[in-house]
Structure 1
Amino acid sequence: MALWRIRTAVEDRPGGLAGVVGVLADRGGDIVGLSVHTDVSGVVDEFVVEVPGRHDDLVRALSERCPSGAVTAVPAHRREVGDDVTRALLLTARLRAHPNRLPDALAELLLADDARWTNLTSADDAGQARTAPGTAMLVPVGPLRGVLVTRSSRPFTWTESSRAEALVRSVMPATGPVPTDSVVHTSQGLDLSLRQVVEEDAPALRELHRRCSAETVHARYLTGMSELSPRMLRVFCDTERGLTLAVRPRGREEPVALGHLMYTLDPGVGEIAFLVEDVWQGIGVGTALVRALTVIAAEWGLAEVRAETTVANAAMLRIMRRCGASVRTRGGTYVHARLPVAEALQAGLGGRARRGGEFARLMGQG
């Protein structure tokens, strides 16, 4: 007996599904899987059926029984038989460890021919989706990137689109409230208040940048910048892009540092950066910020945080290495640091947080 995946629209009336099942039974079909989809045409049932002999007669009989919608039949594989919920949960568990393999997981979830990363502004991919209606689906992953999934055998349904979106959301950072007022402690015993940046902080942040030397500003932004622009401030306040924390010593209103944890085009990966006012450098502020941002990255479900700087930024490189990051020089000038979040937490972020509950205390929650 051959295994076939048969999709047909079912009339929305009592006995509609029973009639389809009766046609399958009359021709010796053995149903081993069933899923119900919704689409623009209404309810669509998808059966995985063992069919004796040729399937042509069965498809013809179903077409006569269900004239309201087309009947499609494609060969199925034994590995496709099983509980869809269990399969989706297993894919989610796999993605938690390897979020960059999202295209492969989507292809497996949707039994697609191909799935690949694409920019949401890509004209080529948009054109492909238009020229193959229903057989190409663009699954957004954040505001700038997506996965283009294609399948020539049958169109995607609304239900499959929802499943794809749910799988993506399972590996994306949480969108709930972020810490707005936490306290961390430096190695020298200094208490630092971390507070999420809001638009009302603009004057204080501009003054912070003015107090910083040109070398400090260049080390943070990799370019000369004499003034904090309104556009940059909007980026800092945009929670769709990530999180920016203003750092204030306890008892002071003026921020002395900024810490950033921003989303990247790679799911499961965040980018960290920080700016510390010159007179507050060298006393553990940057190290405390990296540790706090890594804890937040773990709470978001990120697998890795990265940082970009130059070989001249010895202080940042020292901090990243101390926290367990691998550092690689590119082109002799720029440096790319990668810090696996889970490994950093297990190692205690440089050996200072090995006792249980230390990370909660690090964020002022212990």
Structure 2
Amino acid sequence: MALWRVRATVDDRPGYLSVLTASLALRGVNILTVQVHTTEVGAVDDFLVDAPDTLDEADLIAAVERGRGRDCWVARSEARGLADQPTRVLGLATRLVGDPELAGEVLRATLGADEVTWRPTAAGGHDAVGTTTMLLTDPAGGSYELRRQAPSFTPAEYARAQALVELAAAVARREADRVVLVLPDGAELTVRPATADDLAAVVDLHERCSASSRQRRYLSGAALPSPARLRRLLEPARGLTLVATTTGSDGAAESVVALANLLAEGDEAEAALLVRDDWQRRGLGTALLRRLLAHAERAGFAALVLHTQADNTPMVRTVARLGRSAPIERDGSLLTVTVALAAPVGGGPVADGAGRSGAAVIGPRRTSATGGVC
């Protein structure tokens, strides 16, 4: 027996697939796996079959055509073809998360492409499929061109490939957001996007912060947020969460010493900062605020709105030093400062380290049971 890949188009009508499989069975062909790709011209069925050694390519094509299949493509396969396709793609995606530079190699392995070429020019309006050439838009800029002799690419393969390219771009963007921050006193920290794996360290951050710092962060109380709430903050549906981490001189595991959240709220961005007490008044809060502002501006938000307690003068001064229009409204002990994200005024953003802040909430005011920012 020998392994073969067989791809054929079958009319998407009741009973037609069974006619094809019966025709193969009459020749002693055992179907091991099948994938169905829906197209405008019918269902493209991709089989992995085990056929008698006496059958060759022409015999298999003839069996498919007798079973009402058309546009048949047949090629010998290897034992690795027995791997479950979704599992195989997930494995390749895992490699891509580890190294987004492997995008070309992963695309070649996923689609069996003979050539994968990255070009600096955009794909434009030519992302079409249905031929043996596929063009993919690279969200990071440029495009990928994939070619293979046969068979033609299907819409399902195109969607799978585009998802992998977008995954690679997302991982690359995340890595680009990872920076080493040097504070005015010479201390070095790593600032990077947060992940769900940071939950335990972020819980520890909240436990190490004073009740006063937590009160300024959440406004309504100093109680520790639940792990479920913190998990939502770590990976917001829209926005960005940054953590500032430091590693002990003895090589101990990194500790999260600050958390910065940016959440979308209509055309405005809601942000929040929490800095561990022993890292306050060292410029870290200002540096994180600047990065949130820059991200919000790149994303096209119109403004940030700061809600902070009236006695949190350091944060108000920090925002003022950013050189943005920032009118202030007062409602009892709560100050609302709107930071416009249009063209900077007064000389542009402040350098890292200017100003001092402990913890505060920045963003459109939202009503909740606790009165804080969710």
Cα displacement string for residues 312-335 of structure 1 (whole angstroms, at most 9, x for unaligned residues):
xxxxxxxxxxxxxxxxxxxxxxxx
Residue pair 2:139, 2:166 contacting (<8 A) in 1 also? no
Query: In the alignment, which residue of structure 2 is the partner of 1:20?
Result: 20
Q: What is the rounded CA distance, in whole Å, between the counterparts of 1:171 and 1:143 in structure 2?
A: 9
How high is the sequence identity, in percent, across the aligned residues? Answer: 27
Is it true that 1:109 corresponds to 2:199 in the alignment? no
Cα displacement string for residues 29-63 of structure 1 (whole angstroms, at most 9, x for unaligned residues):
12222111112312110111122222312211312
AA aligned opposite 2:51: V
Cα displacement string for residues 89-121 of structure 1 (whole angstroms, at most 9, x for unaligned residues):
111111111111011111111121122322233
Q: What is the rounded CA distance, in whole Å, between the counterparts of 2:34 and 2:316 in structure 1?
A: 63
AA aligned opposite 1:176: R
Residue pair 2:130, 2:153 contacting (<8 A) in 1 also? no
* SS of residue in 1 equivalent to 2:71: coil
Q: Which runs of 4+ in 1 moved over 4 A?
A: 184-187, 195-198, 244-249, 280-285
AA aligned opposite 1:19: V
Q: What is the rounded CA distance, in whole Å, between the counterparts of 2:151 and 2:103 in structure 1?
A: 22
Query: In the alignment, which residue of structure 2 is the partner of 1:93?
Result: 94
Q: What is the rounded CA distance, in whole Å, between the counterparts of 1:236 and 1:194 in structure 2?
A: 10
Query: In the alignment, which residue of structure 2 is the partner of 1:4?
Result: 4
Structure 2 unaligned regions, length at least 5:
171-234, 241-261, 263-269, 307-312, 325-347, 359-372
Residue pair 1:114, 1:149 contacting (<8 A) in 2 also? yes
Is it true that 1:181 corresponds to 2:182 in the alignment? no
* SS of residue in 1 equivalent to 2:18: helix
Residue pair 2:35, 2:46 contacting (<8 A) in 1 also? yes
When residues 184 and 255 of structure 1 are mapped into structure 2, their CA distance, relative to the original with a 3 A threshold, is: farther
Q: What is the rounded CA distance, in whole Å, between the counterparts of 1:245 and 1:113 in structure 2?
A: 49
Q: What is the rounded CA distance, in whole Å, between the counterparts of 1:45 and 1:251 in structure 2?
A: 63
Query: In the alignment, which residue of structure 1 is the partner of 2:75?
Result: 74
Q: What is the rounded CA distance, in whole Å, between the counterparts of 2:130 and 2:34 in structure 1?
A: 25
AA aligned opposite 1:239: A
Query: 1:254 Cα shift?
Result: 2.4
Residue pair 2:37, 2:155 contacting (<8 A) in 1 also? yes
Q: What is the rounded CA distance, in whole Å, between the counterparts of 1:166 and 1:56 in structure 2?
A: 36
Query: 1:197 Cα shift?
Result: 4.4
Range with greater deviation from structure 2 (72-81 or 163-172) = 163-172
Is it true that 1:149 corresponds to 2:215 in the alignment? no
Query: 1:154 Cα shift?
Result: 0.7
Alignment counterpart, residue 57 of structure 2, candidates 37, 55, 60 = 55
Aligned residues: 229
Residue pair 2:5, 2:47 contacting (<8 A) in 1 also? yes
Q: What is the rounded CA distance, in whole Å, between the counterparts of 1:171 and 1:121 in structure 2?
A: 17
Q: Structure 2 matches for 1:207-246, cutoff 5 A? A: 237-239=297-299
Q: What is the rounded CA distance, in whole Å, between the counterparts of 1:246 and 1:171 in structure 2?
A: 33
Q: What is the rounded CA distance, in whole Å, between the counterparts of 2:12 and 2:123 in structure 1?
A: 39
Q: What is the rounded CA distance, in whole Å, between the counterparts of 1:277 and 1:62 in structure 2?
A: 70
- Structure with greater helix percent: 1
When residues 24 and 64 of structure 1 are mapped into structure 2, their CA distance, relative to the original with a 3 A threshold, is: closer
Residue pair 2:20, 2:67 contacting (<8 A) in 1 also? yes
Cα displacement string for residues 3-48 of structure 1 (whole angstroms, at most 9, x for unaligned residues):
2211111222222111111111111112222111112312110111
Q: What is the rounded CA distance, in whole Å, between the counterparts of 2:161 and 2:293 in structure 1?
A: 33
* SS of residue in 2 equivalent to 1:9: strand
Is it true that 1:194 corresponds to 2:289 in the alignment? yes
Q: What is the rounded CA distance, in whole Å, between the counterparts of 2:88 and 2:323 in structure 1?
A: 46
Q: What is the rounded CA distance, in whole Å, between the counterparts of 2:98 and 2:323 in structure 1?
A: 32
Query: 1:246 Cα shift?
Result: 11
AA aligned opposite 2:23: V
Query: What is the aligned-residue RMSD (CA, Å)?
Result: 4.1
Is it true that 1:46 corresponds to 2:46 in the alignment? yes
Cα displacement string for residues 275-313 of structure 1 (whole angstroms, at most 9, x for unaligned residues):
8636x757899xx9xxxxxxxxxxxxxxxxxxxxxxxxx
AA aligned opposite 1:63: E
* SS of residue in 2 equivalent to 1:43: strand
